[in-house]
Chains A and B, each alone.
Chain A
Amino acid sequence: MNANSTKIIIVIAAIVVVAAGVGAFMVLNQNSDNSTKNIDASLEVYGNANNDYRIDNKDLSIIEKIIKKESGYTLEKYPLADAYYDGVVDDKDIQQVKDIIAGAKDGNQFSVWHINHTTDLTNYPSGSYVVDTKWPITKTVANGAANSLTLYEMVGLTDNIVGMNYSSGSPPDKIIYPKYAAFESLGSSTTNLNEEKLVACLKDNPGTTAVITADNKSYLASGCNEKYIEETLKIDVIRIQHAAVDPKEHSSAILLLGFLFQKDTKAEEVAEWTTAVFKELDKKLDGAAKVRVASSSGEKYLSARNSDYADVAVQAGGEYTLWEQSSSSIYFKEYKGSSKTYEPDPRVFLEEYQADKILGIRTGAFLGSVKDGASWYGSPDKWDVAKMKAYVEDFSVFKCYDDKAVTVISGDMPIVARVLYAASALYPDLISKEYADEKHQEFVDKFLGGSYIVKDCHFIFTQEEIEAMKG
Chain B
Amino acid sequence: MTPEGLNSEGDSIPDCEDILVEEYLSSARIKLLLIALLFIIAAIIAIYSFTIYGDMELSYVFELISNHISGNTYPEYSPEWFDDIIIWESALPRVIFCIIAAIGLAVAGASMQTAMNNPLADPYTVGISSGACLGLAVALSVGFSVNHGDLLGINIFAFIFSLFPLALILILAPKTHSSPSTLILAGVALSYLFNAANTIIMVTVDAETLETIYKWQVGTVSDIRWDNIPLTLGFVALGSALVTILSKKLNLLSLGDASATSLGVDPDNLRMICLVAIAFIVGAIVGSAGIIGFIGLVTPHIVRTFVGSNNKYVIPASAGLGIIMIITADILCKMFTVYDDMPVGAMLALIGAPIFLYLVIRRKSNVW
Given contacts A120-B145, A199-B54, A228-B149, contact A218 B208 (CB under 8 A): yes
- C-alpha spacing A222/B147, complex, angstroms: 7
A72 close to B (CB within 8 Å)? no
**B52 nearest CB neighbor, chain A only:** A196
B207 close to A (CB within 8 Å)? yes
Min CB gap B215→A, angstroms: 8
Q: Is B223 touching A199 in the complex (CB atoms < 8 A)? A: no
B79 close to A (CB within 8 Å)? yes
A262 close to B (CB within 8 Å)? no
A328 close to B (CB within 8 Å)? yes
**B85 nearest CB neighbor, chain A only:** A232
Q: Is B145 touching A194 in the complex (CB atoms < 8 A)? A: no
B245 close to A (CB within 8 Å)? no
Point out the residue from B77, B146, B148, B149 that lies within 8 Å of A206, measured CB to CB.
B77
Q: Is B149 touching A227 in the complex (CB atoms < 8 A)? A: yes
**Chain B residues whose CB sits within 8 angstroms of the CB of A206 once the complex forms:** 77
Q: Is A195 touching B77 in the complex (CB atoms < 8 A)? A: no
Given contacts A228-B225, A234-B76, contact A222 B148 (CB under 8 A): no
**A168 nearest CB neighbor, chain B only:** B338
Q: Is B338 touching A123 in the complex (CB atoms < 8 A)? A: no
**A197 nearest CB neighbor, chain B only:** B339
Min CB gap B17→A, angstroms: 60
Point out the residue from B54, B77, B207, B339 that lies within 8 Å of A200, measured CB to CB.
B54
Point out the residue from B82, B145, B205, B340 that lies within 8 Å of A123, measured CB to CB.
B145
Given contacts A120-B145, A122-B143, contact A202 B82 (CB under 8 A): yes
**Chain B residues whose CB sits within 8 angstroms of the CB of A195 once the complex forms:** 86, 90
- C-alpha spacing A196/B56, complex, angstroms: 11
**B209 nearest CB neighbor, chain A only:** A218
**Chain A residues whose CB sits within 8 angstroms of the CB of B204 once the complex forms:** 328, 337-338
- C-alpha spacing A199/B77, complex, angstroms: 10
Min CB gap A117→B, angstroms: 12
Interface residues of A in 212-259 (CB under 8 A from B): 216-218, 220-223, 225-228, 231-234
A118 close to B (CB within 8 Å)? yes
Q: Is A199 touching B207 in the complex (CB atoms < 8 A)? A: no
- The count of chain B contact residues (Cβ–Cβ below 8 Å) is 38
Which of B143, B211, B339 has most chain A Cβ within 10 Å? B339
Given contacts A202-B77, A226-B149, contact A233 B85 (CB under 8 A): yes
A329 close to B (CB within 8 Å)? yes
- C-alpha spacing A218/B339, complex, angstroms: 17
**Chain A residues whose CB sits within 8 angstroms of the CB of B149 once the complex forms:** 225-228, 231
- C-alpha spacing A220/B147, complex, angstroms: 7
Min CB gap A296→B, angstroms: 14
Min CB gap A283→B, angstroms: 36
A411 close to B (CB within 8 Å)? no
**Chain B residues whose CB sits within 8 angstroms of the CB of A328 once the complex forms:** 204-207
- The count of chain A contact residues (Cβ–Cβ below 8 Å) is 38
Given contacts A188-B341, A195-B86, A222-B223, contact A217 B76 (CB under 8 A): no
- C-alpha spacing A123/B225, complex, angstroms: 22
Interface residues of B in 210-263 (CB under 8 A from A): 211-212, 215, 222-223, 225
B89 close to A (CB within 8 Å)? yes
Interface residues of B in 322-353 (CB under 8 A from A): 338-341
Q: Is B86 touching A221 in the complex (CB atoms < 8 A)? A: no
Min CB gap B76→A, angstroms: 7
Q: Is A336 touching B203 in the complex (CB atoms < 8 A)? A: yes
**Chain A residues whose CB sits within 8 angstroms of the CB of B215 once the complex forms:** 222
A7 close to B (CB within 8 Å)? no
A327 close to B (CB within 8 Å)? yes
Q: Interface digits, B30-48 against A, CB 8 Å rule (1 contact, 0 not)?
A: 0000000000000000000
**Chain B residues whose CB sits within 8 angstroms of the CB of A194 once the complex forms:** 338-341
- C-alpha spacing A187/B223, complex, angstroms: 14
A203 close to B (CB within 8 Å)? yes
Q: Is A188 touching B339 in the complex (CB atoms < 8 A)? A: yes
A192 close to B (CB within 8 Å)? yes
**A207 nearest CB neighbor, chain B only:** B77
New contact pairs (8) apart from A217-B145, A223-B223, CB-CB < 8 Å: A195-B86, A196-B90, A199-B85, A202-B82, A220-B147, A225-B148, A226-B147, A234-B77
Q: List 28 A-B contacts (CB under 8 A).
A: A120-B145, A123-B148, A188-B341, A194-B338, A196-B53, A199-B54, A199-B83, A199-B86, A202-B82, A203-B79, A206-B77, A217-B145, A218-B208, A221-B212, A222-B212, A222-B223, A223-B223, A225-B148, A227-B148, A227-B149, A228-B225, A232-B85, A328-B204, A328-B205, A329-B207, A337-B204, A338-B200, A338-B203
7 nearest interchain CB pairs? Answer: A227-B149, A122-B143, A218-B208, A188-B339, A338-B204, A194-B339, A328-B206
